[in-house]
Amino acid sequence: MDETTVADMANGDGSRIKWKFLDRIVSRQGPFADPDNPIGEQALQMLSSVKVLVIGAGGLGCEILKNLALSGFTDIHVIDMDTIDVSNLNRQFLFRQADVGKHKAEVAARFVESRVRGVKITPYCGKIQDKDEDYYMQFAFVVCGLDSIEARRWINATLVGMVDEENPDSLKPLIDGGTEGFKGQSKVILPTMTSCIECQLDLHAPRAAVPLCTLATIPRQPQHCIEWAHIIAWDEERKDITLDNDDPEHITWLYQKALKRAEDFDIPGVTYSMTQGVVKNIIPAIASTNAIIAASCCNEAFKFATGSNPSLAYPPPDANNYMTYSGDDSIYTYTFTHEKKDDCPVCGNLAKTMEIDPSWTLQEFVESFAERPEAQLKKPSIRSEAKTLYMQSIASLEEQTRPNLAKKLSELVSDGEEIAVSDPALQISFKYKLVFKS
């Protein structure tokens, strides 16, 4: 970057009067700050010279963009593939009724730019997977406000993969937040140095799926009837139409199917709203929780960029790196060190030990990956040391390897053998050492 002084850094009119409060705190030595950190102009220089990437322009993303702009960051990029829906308006405060249908990243960027003079926000309306390492390398750090665990895992693995020990600039801190109802968490990840998203995966175990036979033959709950309509009835009766969760006609059809089935079994409680909730896997979300978690993430970003106070994860590896927040019953936070796992498939170097029943078929084994809290893979492909056991991502290979599905694991692998598991949703491969249950 050019030799610029803090005074003429892009603040619209070039003056820093607007940043009176922020400048004051950054130019005074704090009692908890590392005394080696620069204060004043040098710290502010950091703040306005770095490029920051925000992933997600939804509930958390809107807040994050506002907060970063008012933290003095001036060069912000934002990625989001979604368009605005009416149900976003109760919390995604950069959007109005008239914006429904437009791209979130674009509308959010323009709004914050117009409100906070001097900040430049560059939107990209698409998927994070469209971008390569060169793109991610330009940022000082990444702030994530996503509702999808797949996207989190993808960016996490990408940032871990980018770390080059010879080049300190290749280490991009990842600041990540998530919410559900009155609860949430935020954490700071220093790829390869502290616990990563994949190390933490079992903290976010998927809800146990209801067995298919329950849905098909012995439903007991209204949700079972809805899942039946969703998974079974639709395929039987409307095979040629792709189910669109956002099409009210489709939801209505599922609702009526589920209602009829519930009546047949005397099960009370199926509603349209519940149908929508089950089919779209809706997580309750409110403005205030998003505000809390996004502000916590941006506070860490601000501390990290200015050195004005220690951020989470500093100094690695022992510092606290994870905060959980719960507002249901009074308010509790738990701030702790989540430890890096040596057998993490992304940032560790050991194969994870997995106990298996050798009498399982490969089919059963493949299906079990979706529900394993530490794996959560929906379309796994599996290779042993010797050969490809099952490959789902390429049709011809799928056909070739399909006969293996019926075979017992004991026929395919030996006790103690290592396997590699991959999934099209993630660009990494998981290593497991299989140990036979006796």
Q: How many CB atoms lie within 10 A of CB 96?
A: 11
Of residues 20 and 165, the one with the C-beta less far from another protein:
20
DSSP 8-state assignment for residue 293? H
Whether the Cβ atoms of residue 359 and residue 410 lie closer than 8 Å to each other = yes
> Which amino acid appears at position 365 of this protein?
F
Residue number, 45 or 384, with CB nearest to another protein: 45
**Does the active-site annotation cover 213?**
yes
Closest to another protein by CB, 275 or 422: 275
CA–CA dist 69, 118 (Å, integer): 9
Cβ–Cβ < 8 Å for 125, 110: no
Residue 148 CB, nearest approach to another protein (Å): 16
Residue 92 in tokens: 């995604």
Residue 347: CB minimum distance to another protein, A: 23
Q: Half-sphere exposure of residue 307, counting CA atoms within 13 Å on the CB side?
A: 16
Residues in Cβ contact with 127 at an 8 Å cutoff, skipping those fewer than 6 apart: 79, 81
- Go through the chain and tell me how many residues it has: 438
Shortest Cβ distance from residue 193 to another protein (Å)? Answer: 19
Residue for token pair 């976003």? 88
In whole angstroms, what is the distance from residue 57 CA to residue 295 CA?
A: 14
| Beta carbon of residue 269, minimum distance to another protein (angstroms, whole number) | 11
Residue number with CB closer to another protein (311 or 404): 311
Catalytic residue among 213, 297, 298, 347: 213
Q: Which of 223/381 has CB closer to another protein?
A: 223
Q: In angstroms, what is the minimal distance from the CB of 29 to another protein?
A: 8
Q: Hey, is 126 helix, strand or coil?
A: coil
Catalytic residue numbers, as ranges: 213
